C-alpha cells in the first residue's frame, strides 16, 4: 500500500472545508432552508477551493462516482497503527507532514467531488440524501483526525464559519484559522 504526504497547512485547509460542508449540509436539512440560499452561500472562491481539492485528490481515484461514499466504504479504510498514533501523540505538535493511504485519499477526493455535484443540484435533495451527505463528510473529518492525532489546529478548525450558522456562535473564517499554520 502506498502513501502520500501532506503538509500541516494542506491538512488543516482540507479539514476546514470538510467541516464547513458538514455543518452547512446539517443546516440545509432544516425544512425552512431554501436550497438556493445554500447554493448561494458557496461563493466562487469556495467552489474553486473545493474543485482544487477534488483535483488534488483525483489521481488516487480509480473511478469517479458523483455520489457520496457509503458508511461501509469509510469503515473499510484501515486506520493508522498504534505506533503511528503514539508517535503523533508525542510529536504531533512539531510534525510538519502526515501520510495518508491511497484509499483514504480516494475517499477524501470522492467527498469533494460529491460536494461539487451537490452544489449544482437545482432542487433540494431529500432529507435522507442530505443526511447521507453529512455523515459521509463527517466520516472524512474522522479520517483526518485519526491520521493526524496531535495536530492541534484541528480543534480550532472545528469552529469554522458555515452556512446558516447560529448568530451567537463564535466562528472563524478559514483564513483566520490558517493565519498561524506553517
Domain boundaries defined on the chain: 3-178
Helix (H) or strand (E) holding 34: none
The Cα–Cα gap between 32 and 16 comes to 26
Q: Which residues pair with 160 in a beta bridge?
A: 172
The one-digit pLDDT tens for each residue of the chain (182 residues) are: 678 889 999 999 999 999 999 999 999 999 999 999 999 999 999 999 999 999 888 754 545 566 777 777 766 766 666 566 655 566 666 677 888 888 888 889 999 999 999 999 999 999 999 999 999 999 999 999 988 887 888 988 999 999 998 888 888 899 999 888 87
Strands, E assignment, the chain: 3-7, 97-101
Q: What angle do CA 3, 9, 18 make, to 5 degrees?
A: 80
CA-to-CA dists, residue 133 to 29, 30, 119, angstroms: 11, 14, 12
Model pTM greater than 0.95?
no
Amino acid at each position: 500500500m502506498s502513501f502520500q504526504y501532506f503538509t500541516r497547512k494542506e491538512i488543516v485547509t482540507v479539514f476546514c472545508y470538510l467541516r464547513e460542508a458538514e455543518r452547512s449540509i446539517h443546516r440545509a436539512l432544516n425544512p425552512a432552508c431554501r436550497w438556493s440560499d445554500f447554493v448561494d452561500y458557496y461563493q466562487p472562491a469556495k467552489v474553486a477551493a473545493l474543485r482544487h481539492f477534488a483535483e488534488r485528490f483525483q489521481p488516487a481515484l480509480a473511478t469517479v462516482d458523483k455520489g457520496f461514499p457509503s458508511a461501509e466504504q469509510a469503515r473499510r479504510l484501515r486506520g493508522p497503527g498504534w505506533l503511528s498514533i503514539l508517535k503523533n501523540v508525542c510529536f504531533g505538535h512539531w510534525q510538519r507532514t502526515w501520510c495518508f493511504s491511497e484509499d483514504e485519499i480516494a475517499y477524501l477526493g470522492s467527498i469533494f467531488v460529491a460536494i461539487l455535484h451537490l452544489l449544482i443540484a437545482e432542487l433540494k435533495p431529500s432529507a435522507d440524501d442530505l443526511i447521507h451527505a453529512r455523515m459521509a463528510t463527517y466520516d472524512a473529518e474522522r479520517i483526518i483526525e485519526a491520521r493526524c492525532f496531535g495536530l492541534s489546529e484541528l480543534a480550532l478548525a472545528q469552529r469554522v464559519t458555515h452556512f446558516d450558522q447560529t448568530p451567537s456562535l463564535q466562528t472563524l473564517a478559514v483564513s483566520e484559522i490558517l493565519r498561524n499554520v506553517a
